[in-house]
């Protein structure tokens, strides 16, 4: 039987894109999008970048205006939380007391900041950055006289924020437990190169450093961040950016299989065949090495939204998109295609000194990802080559004068066989 109603829990990037893609594909049943945040669905990437400097305003964040929902006949429920899913009755209960029946349910509940388990983490002036409300609070604090800002965690959000706060004239220290910045996401080459850019901008980077406690004034305002080695750093604003936890509580409570994400099959179906999970909250099989992964990116949420919308409309296919990601910091745009974790060989093309280069990452001779700085064309080509499997071998990439653009233009007969 064709589905007559789709409920989507979470009105963020993935939730909105699911609803929009369903209508774009001609789905004519009822679509309800439930979001606990009060605002219209908005994009998060500017929250650590242009929104804090004032370059991007509220209106620019909004993904779709109210008229879109009316025109597309999508029921948008904001400021209400789904608090229970009855899988047997195919029904959702809302915190407001409302109930919603569904034929298909899409979980797009996203993630929440990982808490920092140290004394003093609840002091005033200790913030996280996930929502528009978080960013508004941060913007109010950064929009004033210079502060001593400590950022815990040198991940993407932490480093973007460091760069933004520095550009606004604040003193910025980043405290990172790992030996290098973005250790989970980037190659050591790019990590080192990026750390140098931050230092040149005046950001103080402390790696191999763990926070032991935060101390505040009598009124409860944070004043000092203390490291495990006893070092005390003055700080009147502390932002915790040590990663996120997928929001799986609703799924777990309903009896769906969870484990660092809602577990889904290659078609993004949970252990209940009427329920899908997408975006930051979903753990799905990577079409490459066959392990389950969870990705936190706009591209992943949007791509999975389109995949699920197609499945609900009868075009059922596994999700196999090549992951990609971007970040902006130190006035640079970094672009990553593929997944570079566990690479065992890299080839750098271009010139890091000029800030225009790409790092090609191989695992057992297979190109698994490409990191690019200031070479948007490389990024676009890398995504195509990774999708088609027609990538250059490491030997080809090492040849003098090699560049991805010329490689991509070569007829296949003139390329070495890609795989060993
Ligand atoms: C500061 C910041 C900067 C970022 N920069 C980039 C970037 O440069 N590039 C990039 O690719 N990605 C970036 N990201 C990541 C990207 O924004 C996320 O990966 C993406 O938003 C994930 O989409 P999602 O739909 O899975 O989750 P979200 O967009 O987080 O949406 C989930 C929504 O579900 C709601 N929700 C949860 N539970 C319930 C419930 N029970 N009932 C109702 N509503 C519920 C939440 O309140 C939230 O609004 C950034 C993220 C942040 C926070």
pLDDT for the residue numbered 157: 97
Probe target for ligand 1 pocket from 7, 9, 10, 11, with the most ligand atoms within 8 Å of CB: 10
Tens of pLDDT along 212-246? 999 999 999 999 999 999 999 999 999 999 999 99
pLDDT for the residue numbered 1: 44
- Per residue, the 3-state secondary structure of the chain, as one string, reads CCCCEEEEECCCHHHHHHHHHHHHCCCCCEEEEECCCCCCCECCHHHHCHHHHCCCCHHHHECCCHHHHHHCCEEEECCCCEEEEECCCCEEEECCCCEEECCEEEECCCEEECCCCCCCCCCECEEECCCHHHHHHHHHHHCCCCCEEEEECCCHHHHHHHHHHHHCCCEEEEECCCCCCCCCCCCHHHHHHHHHHHHHHCCEEECCCCEEEEEECCCCEEEEEEECCCCEEECCEEEECCCEEECCHHHHHHCCCECCCEECCCCCECCCCCEEECHHHEEEECCCCCCEECCCCHHHHHHHHHHHHHHHCCCCCCCCCCCEEEEEECCEEEEEEECCCCCCEEEEEEEHHHCEEEEEEEECCEEEEEEEECCHHHHHHHHHHHHHCCCCCHHHHHCCCCCHHHHHHCCHHHCCCCCC
Which residue's CA lies nearest to atom 31 of ligand 1? 12
* Ligand 1 atom having least distance to the Cα of 280: 26
* Ligand 1 centroid – CA 177 distance (Å): 25
173 CB near ligand 1 (under 6 Å): no
333 CB near ligand 1 (under 6 Å): no
Instruction: Kindly tell me if the per-residue pLDDT of 395 is higher than 50.
Output: yes
pLDDT for the residue numbered 285: 94
pLDDT for the residue numbered 63: 97
Instruction: Kindly tell me if the per-residue pLDDT of 375 is higher than 50.
Output: yes
pLDDT for the residue numbered 414: 65
The answer to whether the beta carbons of residues 214 and 120 sit under 8 Å apart is: yes
* Ligand 1 centroid – CA 13 distance (Å): 6
Alpha-carbon span 363 to 70, nearest angstrom:
49
Percent of the chain with pLDDT over 70: 97
* Ligand 1 atom having least distance to the Cα of 34: 43
17 CB near ligand 1 (under 6 Å): no
Probe target for ligand 1 pocket from 7, 51, 294, 297, with the most ligand atoms within 8 Å of CB: 297
34 CB near ligand 1 (under 6 Å): yes
* Ligand 1 atom having least distance to the Cα of 249: 41
pLDDT for the residue numbered 42: 98
Instruction: Kindly tell me if the per-residue pLDDT of 172 is higher than 50.
Output: yes
pLDDT for the residue numbered 416: 56
Which residue's CA lies nearest to atom 23 of ligand 1? 13
Instruction: Kindly tell me if the per-residue pLDDT of 99 is higher than 60.
Output: yes
10 CB near ligand 1 (under 6 Å): yes
* Ligand 1 atom having least distance to the Cα of 16: 25
Tens of pLDDT along 246-300? 999 999 999 999 999 999 999 999 999 999 999 999 999 987 666 899 999 999 9
* Ligand 1 centroid – CA 14 distance (Å): 8
* Ligand 1 atom having least distance to the Cα of 131: 53
76 CB near ligand 1 (under 6 Å): no
Q: Give the pLDDT band of residue 347 (cuts 50, 70, 90).
A: very high
Q: Give the pLDDT band of residue 170 (cuts 50, 70, 90).
A: very high
Which residue's CA lies nearest to atom 12 of ligand 1? 297
Which residue's CA lies nearest to atom 35 of ligand 1? 10
* Ligand 1 centroid – CA 137 distance (Å): 18
pLDDT for the residue numbered 341: 86
Average pLDDT over residues 59-87: 97
Instruction: Kindly tell me if the per-residue pLDDT of 417 is higher than 60.
Output: no
Q: Give the pLDDT band of residue 412 (cuts 50, 70, 90).
A: low
pLDDT for the residue numbered 386: 93
The answer to whether the beta carbons of residues 211 and 116 sit under 8 Å apart is: yes
361 CB near ligand 1 (under 6 Å): no
pTM of the model: 0.95
Tens of pLDDT along 292-329? 999 999 999 999 999 999 999 999 899 999 999 999 99
DSSP lists the bridge partners of residue 237 as 149
* Ligand 1 centroid – CA 231 distance (Å): 34
Q: What is the mean pLDDT of the chain?
A: 95
215 CB near ligand 1 (under 6 Å): no
* Ligand 1 centroid – CA 136 distance (Å): 16
């Amino acid at each position: 039987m064709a589905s007559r109603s789709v409920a989507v829990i979470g009105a963020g990037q993935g939730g909105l894109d699911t609803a929009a893609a369903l209508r774009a594909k001609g789905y004519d049943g009822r679509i309800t999008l439930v979001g606990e945040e009060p605002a219209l669905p908005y994009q998060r990437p500017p929250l650590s970048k242009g929104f804090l400097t004032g370059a991007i305003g509220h209106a620019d964040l909004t993904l779709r205006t109210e008229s879109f929902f009316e025109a597309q006949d999508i029921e948008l429920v904001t400021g209400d939380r789904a608090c229970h899913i009855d899988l047997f009755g195919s029904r959702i209960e809302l915190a407001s007391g409302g109930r919603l029946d569904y034929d298909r349910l899409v979980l797009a509940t996203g993630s929440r900041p990982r808490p920092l388990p140290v004394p003093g983490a609840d002091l005033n002036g200790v913030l996280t950055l996930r929502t528009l409300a978080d960013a508004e609070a941060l913007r109010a604090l950064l929009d004033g006289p210079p502060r001593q800002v400590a950022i815990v965690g040198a991940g993407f959000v932490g480093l973007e924020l460091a760069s933004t706060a520095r550009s606004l004239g604040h003193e910025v220290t980043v405290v990172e437990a790992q030996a290098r910045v973005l250790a989970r996401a980037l190659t050591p080459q790019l990590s080192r190169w990026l750390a140098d850019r931050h230092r040149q901008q005046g950001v103080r980077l402390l790696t191999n450093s763990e926070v032991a406690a935060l101390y505040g004034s009598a009124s409860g305002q944070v004043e000092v961040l203390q490291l495990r080695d006893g070092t005390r750093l003055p700080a009147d604003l502390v932002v915790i950016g040590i990663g996120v936890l997928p929001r799986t509580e609703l799924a777990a409570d309903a009896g769906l299989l969870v484990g660092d994400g809602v577990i889904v099959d290659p078609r993004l179906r949970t252990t209940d065949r009427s329920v899908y999970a997408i975006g930051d909250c979903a753990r799905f099989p990577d079409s490459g090495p066959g392990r389950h992964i969870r990705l936190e990116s706009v591209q992943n949420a949007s791509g999975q939204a389109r995949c699920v919308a197609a499945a609900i409309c009868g075009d059922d296919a596994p999700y196999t998109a090549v992951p990609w990601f971007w970040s902006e910091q130190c006035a640079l745009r970094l672009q990553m295609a593929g997944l570079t974790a566990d690479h065992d060989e890299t080839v750098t093309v271009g010139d890091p000194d000029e800030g225009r280069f790409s790092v090609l990452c191989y695992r057992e001779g297979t190109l698994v990802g490409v990191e690019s700085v200031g070479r948007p064309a490389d990024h676009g080509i890398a995504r195509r080559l990774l999708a088609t499997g027609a990538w250059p071998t490491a030997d080809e990439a090492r040849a003098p004068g090699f560049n991805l653009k010329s490689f991509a233009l070569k007829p296949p007969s003139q390329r070495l066989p890609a795989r060993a």
